[in-house]
């Protein structure tokens, strides 16, 4: 049994299904993915921009659960939300480059979609320059 509680896990996964996930992840798996992604960004993300955006999707799925009334009703919600906020703080420290707003779609994006790490691996840095016209440091 999860320390988050079985009903929290069930409601979290149901929120994922409502967001279109066929096989939603356990909340602890999503937390680990988000934390690992942030750690990879701190070290200098060494994949390409497409993979970066795919990895970033985990944070969007977490937010869908954070916004879900059933998930919010559980006593363990606060501990889960606190852990997300802790990981978010780590990401905000290094994701300091703003992506220039382009089009109406930008208004519907979340804060984590609108920033990039200031440094990354060579492939990611090249992609960022090509797609956004932004130069970030190569690590």
DSSP annotation string for 25-62: PPHHHHHHHHHHHHHHHHH-B-S-HHHHHHHHHHHHHH
Hey, what are 7's tokens? 């009903």
Mean pLDDT split into 10-residue runs, the chain, 139 residues: 80 91 92 97 95 95 95 94 98 94 70 95 96 94
At 113, is the secondary structure helix, strand, or coil? helix
Give the pairing of strands 137-138 and 119-120.
Answer: parallel
Planar angle of CA 31, 7, 75, nearest 5 degrees: 75
At 116, is the secondary structure helix, strand, or coil? strand
Model confidence pLDDT, tens digit, residues 22-37: 899 999 999 999 999 9
Model confidence pLDDT, tens digit, residues 83-92: 999 999 999 9
Going from N- to C-terminal start, the domains of the chain cover 6-138
Please tell me the predicted confidence (pLDDT) of residue 1: 39
- Please answer whether residues 84 and 31 qualify as being in contact, where contact means their C-beta atoms are separated by less than 8 angstroms: yes
Length of the chain, in residues: 139
Give the pairing of strands 119-120 and 115-116.
Answer: unpaired
Please tell me the predicted confidence (pLDDT) of residue 109: 84
Query: What residues are paired with 119 via a beta bridge?
Result: 137
């Amino acid at each position: 049994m999860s320390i988050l509680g079985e009903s929290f896990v069930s409601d979290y996964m149901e929120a994922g299904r409502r967001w279109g996930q066929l096989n939603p992840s356990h909340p602890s798996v999503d937390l680990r993915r988000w934390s690992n992604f942030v750690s990879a960004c701190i070290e200098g993300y060494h994949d390409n921009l497409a993979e970066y955006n795919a990895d970033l999707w985990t944070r969007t799925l977490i937010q869908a659960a954070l916004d879900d009334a059933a998930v919010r009703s559980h006593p363990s919600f606060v501990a889960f939300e606190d852990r997300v906020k802790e990981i978010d703080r780590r990401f905000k420290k290094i994701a300091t480059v703003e992506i220039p707003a382009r089009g109406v779609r930008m208004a519907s994006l979340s804060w984590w979609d609108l920033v990039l790490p200031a440094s990354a691996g060579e492939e990611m840095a090249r992609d960022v320059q090509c797609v956004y016209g932004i130069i970030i440091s190569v690590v």
